[in-house]
Structure 1
């Protein structure tokens, strides 16, 4: 197979991984749904089911958190025709409430993804989250979120600055 075509396929799969992180952090269920095939499945350990069930589970869970940020590290994609598998390292930060005050829970691990190209379009057909370590500590966010002055602070949803930034160039968030 053509090395350039394989590189393009790997890039498309890698972009799916990063777009899932974006959709989760922005709490954008519509975007999230576009990244998986309709019959896709997800295994997060504490949740196992269809992608639709995953979205129904994860969005309310995310709503209990103040903010999240998923950082994607090295991504290894192996392509075989219209199928691919990937291992993507992540560090996921979760700003959460607790009875003792705000906490930061960090989870690190890997996403083991299966990708399929159907009708010329790559999407995720299965995701398995593997957890390597986590940490919980008091939250030390010092931003004045009520009065940010000239700072632009990230928000969940389509009011986040990234949506208008992309739209200004005619690019949709998906």
Structure 2
């Protein structure tokens, strides 16, 4: 069955909204903009970071993870997400998967690199898309020994 023009436009708008959520995750975290970061999550969202950090529920859990655990551990970070694929489950639920690469310095100045996959459940409520669940599958979390990451001088 062929989709109507209206259905195709709605799907494109949905894809763009989901790309914005994935981008705002990176921008919010890296620029330390908690308002931007928290705005991508539903109040009952689940963020499954897993070892060594743990899993977090709701805005309170997300806020705790970022403010009390992750930002203190990272002096600087830059996230890059790629390969976002989305699969509609229903009119208001989409499953997504993308890869992430993060590079930065720990709070002690040690250069770090992380590669992971994000598996997402996006939900639209009252016409707004946000993340309902994000599972992080880490592939590596490694120090970059002998390398100093610093701004150009």
Larger fraction in strand: 2
Q: Give the TM-score range, shorter chain.
A: 0.7 to 0.9
Q: Stretches of 4+ moved more than 3 A in 1?
A: none
> Is the CA contact (8 Å cut-off) linking 1:10 and 1:78 kept in structure 2?
no
Match for residue 49 of structure 1?
56
Q: C-alpha separation between the residues in 2 aligned to 1:126 and 1:34?
A: 14
How far does the alpha carbon of each residue in 1:138-169 deviate from its partner, in whole angstroms, 9 at most, with x for none? 3423436xxx6xxxxxxxxxxxxxxxxxxxxx
Structure 1 match to 2:106: 96
1:34 shift after superposition: 1.0
Contact 1:78 1:86 in 2 (8 A): yes
Q: TM-score, normalised by structure 1?
A: 0.74
Equivalent position to 1:136, from 131, 140, 143: 143
Unaligned runs of 5+ in 2: none
Instruction: Indicate which of 107, 110, 122 corresponds to 2:114.
Output: 107
Equivalent-residue separation in structure 2 for 1:133 and 1:65 (angstroms): 16
Secondary structure in structure 1 of the residue aligned to 2:113 = strand
Residue 12 to residue 131, structure 1, CA distance change in 2 (3 Å):
same
Q: Cα RMSD over matched residues?
A: 1.7
1:53 Cα offset (Å): 0.9
Unaligned ranges ≥5, structure 1:
149-174
- TM value normalised by structure 2: 0.84
Aligned ranges 1:1-174 → 2 under 5 Å:
1=3, 2-45=7-50, 46-51=53-58, 52-60=60-68, 61-79=70-88, 80-98=90-108, 102-138=109-145, 139-143=147-151
Q: 3-state DSSP class of the match of 1:85?
A: strand
Aligned residues, how many?
Answer: 142
Contact 1:105–1:136 (CA<8 Å) still a contact in 2?
A: yes
Q: For the structure 1 residues 134 and 4, does the alpha-carbon distance in structure 2 shift closer, same or farther, using more than 3 Å as the test?
A: same
